[in-house]
Structure 1
Amino acid sequence: MSKPPRRSGPPRRPSKTGGPARPPFGGKPQRPRRATEQDHVPDGPRAAERAGERGTARPVRDRPVRERAPLERSFNERTGKPGERRPRPDNRSESDERPSRRTDRRPPRRTDERPTRRSEGAAAPAAHRPGAPQRIAKLLARAGVGSRRDIERMIAEGRVSVEGTALTSPALNLASLDGVTVDGNPVAAASATRLYRFHKPTGCLTTARDPKGRATIYDLLPKDLPRLVTIGRLDMNTEGLLLLTNDGELKRAMELPANALIRRYRVRVFGSVNARALEALAEGVTIEGVRYGSINADIEHKSGAYAWLVITITEGKNREVRKVLEHLGLKVARLIRVSYGPFELEDLPVRGVEQIPDDAVSRLRSRLPGK
């Protein structure tokens, strides 16, 4: 008896309809697969016709598959599983059924409520009320004795006393300066803030006293002025605008680099001026381990080996302009400060003193943080 010819192609696979399995090439007949629920096909003449074309009908379940309930109706009242939603009443909106994220029992904030500013008649914080206790360093600074750091240094040196007892720590709050003495002299109550412009000449120091006996700016000021402290410093060979005030707090706020008050200078230099090197100062520069921030430098006029530059800084570090220009190979022949913050030197004569109007001081104080 001759063998049937072998057929080529992939092996035969069992039928998915549950009928007799077709043995693969060279294999043994397989057991029919058990029908499952996935074998269900919808009823209808077309379905039966398709099943008849395949030679066998797919098994049909004896009961229809129950449709899945909508999400709103799938909430389990007994378990209350998270992620399922309760049936929504007809009188509730879609946003009402969302669970609240609030963990406290405070009433929700109304959307039309907005934070309002404290009215002028409302009570101010205790630290800013007139007569409220304040740190002694702040009171002495407002009285024009010096800056807070200077006063803390005086206290450490035992120069500040209260009712005859020398202080050893600045951690003391007082409502007034009654009974407070500095170097044995009573301190007057703080007066209204005053600010002055002074055209400093060369050849004098910006200090109250000099151990070597050299001239200071206080030797040039009129004797009828109140006790004043300088805002910033100008070295002996620098001239121009110097601000003085009787308010140590204002002095400190205007000197802070964080407040970035602009200081503008006109500088006469000798040497080869490199425009690109001046432009690079806008990114800052490090000299002998000291980092100087952004500096704006422009060439105002150039004639031969000399040039006039306009330098703008905001930090005001010690001899900053001179050190930066010397780092670029330029020799400073003359240095004039023409402005500090919103105040200009203008045509104020050398050694001239002029009080700045109170409204200009008020506008400045409103711009400074904490003033």
Structure 2
Amino acid sequence: QKKLYLLLNKPKGYLTTYRDPEGRATVYDLLEGVDAFVSPVGRLDKDTSGLLILTNDTQLAERLTNPEHKAPKTYLVKASSRLSDEQLEQLRRGVTLKDGPTRPAVVERLRDSANKSFFEITITEGRNRQVRRMVEAIGSTVSKLVRTRIGDLEIGGLEIGKHRALTAEEVRRLKGVL
């Protein structure tokens, strides 16, 4: 079977699952014209948008989702409150969640408004709702979350709800991250 690697710009409101018993929209509704069965690599929750890789290369999928390989994932975060330098520093050092401490993260403040902060965070784990839980651990909540990058693979100008095949070079670089 020919290996297929897709990059999807997942919209908010879509589930990262094949079928939903409640009939809600899933990422598979966006894969018109894809004639091979591909699986999502990791998950983005319903309220998170952005870069999602789908592939039938189970070996690559396993390596990208295995925490031992530490594949970096970058997100744009809009926090529901204005965050202090100390709060962002806590994220950088790692915070303690119910399922244990997180690894240190790379955090860059992008801008603030009167009562919100916008920042970029890169994590090397993929726990369930991890970025949201990390932000809650420092006393705020996430009002918008967009995954923009895995390794050096970026969402670029791909329209929301659209997908494209990865180039051979992108696949090679993705494998090189591991």
TM above 0.5, yes or no, is yes
Measured against aligned partners, the alpha-carbon deviations of 1:277-334 in whole angstroms (never above 9, x if no partner) come to 2113233221224221112222101110012111110101100000010111112111
Spell out the pairing of 1:27-42 with structure 2 (5 A cutoff). none
User: Contact conserved, 2:153 with 2:170, CA < 8 A, in 1?
Assistant: no
The aligned amino acid for 1:364 is L
Aligned to 2:86: 276
Counterpart of 1:227, as a letter, is F
Deviations 1:143-201 (A, max 9, x none): xxxxxxxxxxxxxxxxxxxxxxxxxxxxxxxxxxxxxxxxxxxxxxxx23221110100
Q: Is the 8 A contact 1:279 1:296 kept in 2?
A: no
Bigger radius of gyration: 1
Q: Distance in 2 between matches of 1:349 and 1:301?
A: 24
Cα distance in 1 for residues equivalent to 2:154 and 2:10: 13
Q: Give 1:349 shift.
A: 0.2
Q: How far has the Cα of 1:366 moved from its partner?
A: 4.8
Partner of 2:4: 194
CA contact (8 A) 2:81 2:140 kept: yes
Match of 2:20 in 1: 210
Aligned runs of 1:306-317 on 2, under 5 Å?
306-317=116-127
User: Using a 3 Å threshold, how does the CA distance of structure 1 residues 222 and 339 change in structure 2: closer, same or farther?
Assistant: same
Specify whether residues 302 and 360 from structure 1 end up closer, same or farther in structure 2 by C-alpha distance, changes over 3 A only. Answer: same
Q: Could you tell me which residue of structure 2 aligns to residue 365 of structure 1? A: 175
Unmatched 5+ residue regions in structure 2? none
What amino acid does structure 1 have at the position aligned with 2:47?
A: N
Q: Distance in 2 between the 1:223 and 1:192 partners?
A: 16
The answer to whether the Cα contact below 8 Å between 1:209 and 1:216 also exists between their aligned partners in 2 is yes
Following the alignment from structure 1 to structure 2, what is the Cα–Cα distance between the partners of residues 318 and 292?
A: 12
d(CA) in 2 for partners of 1:366 and 1:295?
21
Q: Which runs of 5+ in 1 are unaligned?
A: 1-190
Deviations 1:209-247 (A, max 9, x none): 112221111112114331101111000010011111111
Which residue does the alignment assign to 2:70? 260
Specify the alignment match of 1:244 in structure 2. Answer: 54
State whether residues 17 and 27 of structure 2, in contact with CA within 8 Å, keep that contact through their aligned partners in structure 1: yes
Deviation at 1:267, TM superposition (A): 0.8
Stretches of 4+ moved more than 6 A in 1?
Answer: none
Q: 1:363 Cα shift?
A: 3.9
May I ask how many residue pairs the two structures share in their alignment?
A: 178
Correspondence 1:1-371 to 2 at 5 A? 191-368=1-178
The whole-number CA distance in structure 2 between the counterparts of 1:311 and 1:232 is 17
TM-score w.r.t. the length of structure 2 is 0.93
Paired residue type of 1:214: R
The farther-off stretch of 269-278 and 346-355 is: 269-278
Determine which structure has the larger strand proportion and give its number.
2
Q: Give 3-state SS (helix, strand or coil) of 1:209's partner.
A: coil
Give a deviation string over 1:105-140, Cα, whole Å, max 9, x none: xxxxxxxxxxxxxxxxxxxxxxxxxxxxxxxxxxxx
**Structure 1 position 255, deviation (Å):** 0.9
Matching residue's letter, 1:357: T
Q: How far does residue 360 in structure 1 lie from its aligned partner after superposition? A: 2.7
> Is contact 1:204–1:236 with CA below 8 Å preserved after alignment?
yes
Compute the RMSD of aligned alpha carbons: 1.5
Query: For the Cα contact (< 8 Å) 1:194–1:358, is it kept in 2?
Result: no
Q: Partner residue of 1:46?
A: none
